[in-house]
Amino acid sequence: MINLREKPYYLDDAAIDWVEKTIDEMTLEEKIGQLFVVMVKGNSMERSEIKAMLERVKPAAMRYPGQPAQNLWEQNAFCQANSKIPLLIASNCEAGGNGGVGGGTLVANGAAIAAIDDETVAYAVGRIGATEAAAIGCNWNFAPVVDLLYNWRNSIVQTRSIATTPERTVDYAKAWNRATREVGLADCVKHFPGDGCDENDQHLCLTVNDKDADEWMATYGKMFKGIIDDGVKTIMAGHIAQPAWQRRLSDHEVADRDILPATLCPELINGLLKTELGFNGLVVTDASHMIGLTADMPRSKAVPQSIAAGCDLFLFMNDVEEDFDYMMEGYKKGIITEERLSDALHRILGLKASIGLHQKQADGTLMSSEEGLSVVGNDAHMAMAKECADRAITLVKDTRGNLPITPKTHPKLQLVFIGGDKTVVAGEVMESSSTACLKNLVDALERKGFEVNVEDGRECSKSMHTSVKKLKEDFDAVLVAVDNVGLCQYNTTRIKWENQAHQPWYNAELPTVYVSFNLPNSLIDLSMSRTYINAYMDSPVVVEAFVEKLTGESPFKGQFSKNVWCGRWDTRL
């Protein structure tokens, strides 16, 4: 039986009484409903639809797509007012407040934090994200990302992981989580048992952590144990298999066809995480629409199996009635035992009590005042974003001495821009930010005094390329800017050259500088480059900071890991 007096709950008698009384007074339907985190799409759902869903499911928690701060504050207040038991409202602030609210501050993603290599930055990113999320009523944050990037081909956590070693990941996670708790939110790290070994994306297929059992324990296990000992309240389980530990802890032989993602695997959640590593907190699944969960087990079985495996909350419902019935049937058939249901409910209610939701509900203070929305994107937070941009941008190499590129030395600039595709976040198709990045980049360069031509490929319509003579007459240098992202669209994201004019035929003819505003391991496709820069993000403040460094007005300060070379010798030239 879980002890709610111990880490990470630390409940007193009154709080434990509330947990026990609340569970005792629940109907079976209410208990089953508490196993779900629902998606409240206030941008497409009427209030009556939201209310009907809350009344039908009576969920423990909710998430939401991004909207303006005022809209989200009103939506979250409505949801709390229509919930008998206070809701956990989760944000996804992995890089600042932008992951929780429209207009929130993008401070620094995981790759930028790693490049800066300063725990105070991890603290600041966690603090700003939690503060802006709290302003709209959130009390739980799904961050930081603590996956270890051992495979440079992995695109899904390449910009999201906060460090490159287990030791530094623990340091950063402790700082981040401390900030989250200080603001009053429940903290969370993801994705157990650890992404970064595979090059696949669990949104699209099963991901595999293929470390042997001892190596896993010396790396991922060491990292998770350090964070658990620090008191993290929740851990998100990924749709990630760990065959070695599933086999080590199983009481029968496990064939390859029997390998399961952690979200469905009792050996990994009940066995490895909760028993071997001693995690006493709450486990939430990653989003349940991902193919890593759904491909090999019917949803009717996967929904209850996730709870049976040791996960305490199931993230998102495809069809409300259907998923609720799947969970209920799983309980009635004994897939979810009475003991497992009780344990999950105690962890869920214990988490709520540990951040004072029961008392806040009684006091009418679950929501902060509307005036508090002014913190979202405020000047202090933007100043931190600018500081991080300045400190993160990394010069990986300049072996031809092309830098600096200035309006005085290279006034006529040819700009080749490689944009990204749309992305999918929590089931929502999001437009690429590349269009804005291109505009911001051109504007920043022109403000410096460059004459900028954006290559559109029309010069190649009649021949393979324009002449070298004309190239050198028209331009003094070439800037190749890559804003390449395809989150949840491809397993491994690579650069796609739109046309022959974009392709770097000019590389040996003019000083050519390459910059990535997204994935830092782009040298696999840019091995011809002799000047390569990682900027990590495509926000306006990062674009502005990059131009300052391109022209030599600001020094490069960021650091890079060996992953940047993509395991090749030619990328170093």
**The token pair that represents 158 in the structure block:** 């390449």
- C-alpha distance from residue 5 to each of 22, 131, 269, 348, 476 (Å): 17, 27, 22, 14, 68
pLDDT, position 461: 44
Contact 316, 39 (CB under 8 A): yes
Q: What are phi and psi of 91, to 5 degrees?
A: -105, 175
Domain 13-367: which topology? TIM Barrel (3.20.20)
Helices (H), strands (E): how many in the chain?
Answer: 20, 18
pLDDT, position 424: 62
CA 105, chain centre distance (Å): 15
Q: Scanning the structure block, which residue is given the tokens 């009484």? A: 17
**The token pair that represents 400 in the structure block:** 């031809």
140 strand-pairing partners? 90, 186
Q: Where are the alpha helices (DSSP H) in 401-530?
A: 434-448, 468-474
Burial class of residue 429 (count of CB atoms within 10 Å of its CB; 0-12, 13-18, 19+): exposed
Q: Where in the sequence of the chain do the CATH 3.40.50.1700 domains occur?
A: 393-572
- C-alpha distance from residue 284 to each of 20, 306, 365 (Å): 21, 9, 26
306 strand-pairing partners? none
DSSP 86-125: PPEEEE--SSBGGGTSBT--B---HHHHHHHT-HHHHHHH
Q: Which amino acid is at 559?
A: Q
Catalytic site positions: 286
Q: Where in the sequence of the chain do the CATH 3.20.20.300 domains occur?
A: 13-367
pLDDT tens digits in sequence order for the chain, 573 residues long: 799 999 999 999 999 999 999 999 999 999 999 999 999 998 789 999 999 999 999 999 999 998 999 999 999 999 999 999 999 999 999 999 999 999 999 999 999 999 999 999 999 999 999 999 999 999 999 999 999 999 999 999 999 999 989 999 999 999 999 999 999 999 999 999 999 999 999 999 999 999 999 999 999 999 999 999 999 999 999 999 999 999 999 999 999 999 999 999 999 999 999 999 999 999 999 999 999 999 989 999 999 999 999 999 999 999 999 999 999 999 999 999 999 999 999 999 999 999 999 999 999 999 999 999 999 999 999 999 999 999 999 999 999 999 999 999 999 999 999 987 766 665 566 667 889 999 999 999 999 999 999 986 555 444 457 899 999 999 999 999 999 876 777 888 889 898 888 899 999 999 999 999 999 999 999 999 999 999 999 999 999 999 999 999 999 999 999 999 999 999 999
Domain 393-572: which topology? Rossmann fold (3.40.50)
Q: What are phi and psi of 572, to 5 degrees?
A: -85, -10
Q: What are phi and psi of 382, to 5 degrees?
A: -65, -35
CB atoms within 10 A of CB 377: 21
pLDDT, position 489: 76
3-class secondary structure, 360: helix
Q: Scanning the structure block, which residue is given the tokens 């050519």? A: 512
Q: Residue 168: which residues within 8 A CB-CB, separation 6 or more?
A: 114, 117
Contact 36, 314 (CB under 8 A): yes
Helix (H) or strand (E) holding 189: strand 188-192
235 strand-pairing partners? 189, 283
What angle in degrees, to the nearest 10, is found between the helix axes of 379-392 and 119-135? Answer: 150
DSSP 268: I
| Euclidean distance between CA atoms 246 and 243, whole angstroms | 5
**The token pair that represents 421 in the structure block:** 């595709």
Q: Note the pTM of the prediction, 2 decimals.
A: 0.96
Contact 96, 132 (CB under 8 A): yes
